[in-house]
Amino acid sequence: MVSKKIHQVQRTTFKKTERLSSRKIIESLLSAGMSELRFPYRIFWKLNGPDASPLQVAISIPKKKIRKAVDRTLLKRRTREIFRLQKQGLYEALGNGKSVHLFIIYVSDKVLPYSTLEISLGTLINNLSQLIHETAS
């Protein structure tokens, strides 16, 4: 009889509660939120008190920069996937009682390869989690 090992694997999904869709919150992010740029992404973020979801994200690929809808959809999917895989660091930095709203904007006018996007967004997420950890303590 072969013994079965049970692995506790945490699912890294992008839930509906993690999506930021409120126009008011997005406008306040753009006007009063902090900003950081790492080509090809610019993120706007704002640290808040306790909320229903500790992390909410909106992603924008401007039509002015990327004309073809197919390319915009590809970039949105890639960005969501990269964020989904690397968001755990943000959750660890937030801890209990804090929440953050993020708005990720693609600023390049070309479709870049996945590896470039992954490095860029990963660096931004790591920098943001360090900033949140520093402000929380």
Q: What are the DSSP calls for 31-56, one per residue?
A: HHSEEEEETTEEEEEEEESS-SSSEE
State pLDDT tens for residues 98-126: 889 999 999 999 999 999 999 999 999 99
For the chain, list the domains and their CATH numbers.
16-136 (3.30.230.10)
Residue 11's pLDDT is 66
Length of the chain: 137
pTM over cut 0.75: yes
Residue 88's pLDDT is 87
3-state secondary structure of 104: strand
CB 34 within 8 A of CB 44: yes
E-strand spans in 4-135?
34-38, 41-48, 55-60, 99-106
Residues 20, 68, 81, 47, Cα dihedral to 10°? -30
Which residue has better confidence, 137 or 47? 47
**Is pLDDT above 60 for 26?**
yes
Encoded tokens for 124: 């931004």
Residue 85 burial (10 A CB sphere; 0-12, 13-18, 19+): middle
